[in-house]
Structure 1
Amino acid sequence: MPPSQLQIQTRALERLKKEKALYFKELEAELKILGEMESCMADAYDIKKQHEITSESKRMIDELNKRIAEYRTKLADFVAKYNGEENLDVAKALLTEF
């Protein structure tokens, strides 16, 4: 049996949540590396490239925030109009997180 629309939308939002957590973890690691590079007076080019890496992680987090807001709105609208027999607890709990 294929997944229902509720399952699809809920899982999509959960996936984005996990992806955002991974990018935050990556950003923390990259900022730590950048701090070490700056304190060790590493090559200016290497520091510049590390800044670019951290900037890219920040951009990805911003993009994910936009996508999360979009998917959250879609899921909230779907839950509000839903009159099926599936349990909405997971979807409602996920909506309260954002």
Structure 2
Amino acid sequence: MYCPSCRAEFREGFLRCEDCDVNLVEGLPKETEKQGYIHLATVFTEGDIAFIKSSLDHTGIDYYFHGEQAHRLTPLPLGARLMVREDFREEAEAILRATGQL
């Protein structure tokens, strides 16, 4: 059973995610990548995800992490893919290079 909101996996017998206050579902839909975004980097730790978010959030750059919640279901070595809207690519690359993330 899975929470459709936070995507956490639950043992058999649980019917509700108390954190999100929603009913659990049998399976989750596969995450799909948004159109118009390019893969800029893959990160493997929650710390790296948080650092990149703190670097990009105040810039107005349109981005998301594909697979960010997947570590709740599988080990994080699969990584989370940083997806940036194509027209923000150069600006995002410059920021990530300046902070040592790329």
Give the TM interval when normalised to the shorter protein: under 0.3
Q: Which structure dedicates a bigger proportion of its chain to helix?
A: 1
Give TM-score scaled by structure 2 length: 0.24
Which protein, 1 or 2, shows the higher relative CO under an 8 Å CA cutoff with sep ≥ 6?
Answer: 1
Give TM-score scaled by structure 1 length: 0.25
Q: Which structure dedicates a bigger proportion of its chain to strand?
A: 2
Structure showing greater Rg = 1
